Amino acid sequence: MGTHGRLAGKVALISGAARGMGAAEARRFAAEGASVVLGDVRVDLAREVADEIGADAAAAIALDVRRPESWADAVAMAEDRFGALHVLVNNAGIAGAQKRFTDLTYEEYLETVEIDQHGVFLGMHAAAPAIARAGGGSIVNISSVNGQFGQAFGLPYCAAKFAVRGMTKVAALELGSSGIRVNSIHPGAVDTPMLDADVNGVDPKSMFPYHKLPAGRIGAPEDIANLALFLASDESAYCTGAEFTADGGQTTGIGLPMFRMPTLG
Ligand code: NAD
């Protein structure tokens, strides 16, 4: 555990930390003095990131955010290995099935909601008592701009990400007296493996005119990691129950349709 940096002395548990934003958050937090537990279903990849950070400050664990017992193991690892838990980043997520909702099966709907929504509930449920035991801390829930506006072919994802925004506010109200702050991050498009998935036969990275955003580019995982760092640290001591958007200006009002919508029926 580092003695210097913006997260000196803190222990953080990050879900979905094997790649993308979660891996960037793990690296950034450790660089600022935190000890990090990297949880992911892809534990081999998570272990590679942990090895790169170094065993004194990072450990990987198999975590399936849909399973309460898996969360209990991850929280126990933070306390046993590093002595406490101060920060949870609920980052794991999937884009899930990308179809018009009338074409979705219930199973496809549930697959996304179980990971992106129920996983966040289970993470907060498991971690909050441990963070309270540590004297307080911060929970950072990764929602999306799709938790602020709708997106065609993304009903399950939007349902989950809107829910995360709401859960964040309730948890903030209920955990403030225990010294725990809870905030949500709403990224726009960020260049991670999640965007490599084809959307309805379309590659979002090549189709979306990112150069027309106010920021003029797609987001980098580090853009989100920097915001998560602020929310994890004591610098954000007066922020709780709030929404933090990092989208290069996408939600300021530019509306560029990605798809031509066929008529129903
Ligand atoms: P990613 O696909 O690169 O990484 C997601 C990680 O979550 C992977 O390592 C994956 O193995 C893990 N994961 C998936 N299911 C899991 C489960 N059941 N239990 C534990 N881990 C699991 O994606 P990313 O872009 O880094 O996404 C991180 C978060 O940011 C997600 O919640 C995503 O919805 C959100 N987000 C992404 C974008 C974007 O444009 N990339 C935009 C807005 C929000």
pLDDT score for 199? 61
pLDDT score for 1? 61
Taking the centre of ligand 1 as the mean of its atom positions, its distance from the CA of residue 20, in whole angstroms, is: 7
Atom of ligand 1 nearest to the CA of 18: 9
pLDDT score for 200? 59
Closest CA to ligand 1's atom 32:
93
Substitution site in 27, 66, 194, 258 for ligand 1 pocket (most atoms within 8 Å of beta carbon):
194
Percent of the chain whose predicted confidence (pLDDT) is above 70: 94
Taking the centre of ligand 1 as the mean of its atom positions, its distance from the CA of residue 95, in whole angstroms, is: 8
Please state the length of the chain. Answer: 265
pLDDT score for 262? 61
pLDDT score for 260? 46
Ligand 1 neighbours, Cβ below 6 Å, are 15-16, 18-22, 40-42, 63-66, 91-94, 115, 142, 144, 187, 189-190, 192-195
| 182 close to 168: Cβ distance less than 8 angstroms | yes
Distance, CA of 164 to CA of 90 (rounded, Å): 10
Q: pLDDT digits over 176-210, tens only?
A: 999 999 999 999 999 999 988 666 566 777 777 88
Taking the centre of ligand 1 as the mean of its atom positions, its distance from the CA of residue 53, in whole angstroms, is: 20
| 82 close to 35: Cβ distance less than 8 angstroms | yes
The amino acid present at 153, given as its one-letter code, is F
User: What are the CA-CA distances from residue 72 to residues 4, 29, 75, 130 (Å)?
Assistant: 29, 22, 5, 10
User: What are the CA-CA distances from residue 76 to residues 13, 15, 84, 138 (Å)?
Assistant: 11, 14, 9, 17
Distance, CA of 151 to CA of 154 (rounded, Å): 5
Atom of ligand 1 nearest to the CA of 65: 19
- The residue behind tokens 């853009």 is 223
Residues annotated catalytic, as ranges: 157
Taking the centre of ligand 1 as the mean of its atom positions, its distance from the CA of residue 169, in whole angstroms, is: 22
Closest CA to ligand 1's atom 8:
16
CA atoms within 13 A of residue 14's CA, in its CB half-sphere: 36
Atom of ligand 1 nearest to the CA of 224: 30
Distance, CA of 164 to CA of 22 (rounded, Å): 17
Tokens representing residue 252 in the block: 């300021």
Taking the centre of ligand 1 as the mean of its atom positions, its distance from the CA of residue 263, in whole angstroms, is: 32
Distance, CA of 102 to CA of 81 (rounded, Å): 47
Dmax over CA atoms of the chain, in Å, equals: 62
Please name the residues in contact with 218: beta carbons below 8 A apart, sequence gap of 6 or more.
189, 190, 191, 205, 208, 210, 248
Q: What parts of the chain have a pLDDT lower than 70? A: 1, 197-202, 254-262
Please name the residues in contact with 184: beta carbons below 8 A apart, sequence gap of 6 or more.
140, 141, 142, 143, 147, 164, 165, 168, 242, 243, 244
pLDDT score for 192? 94
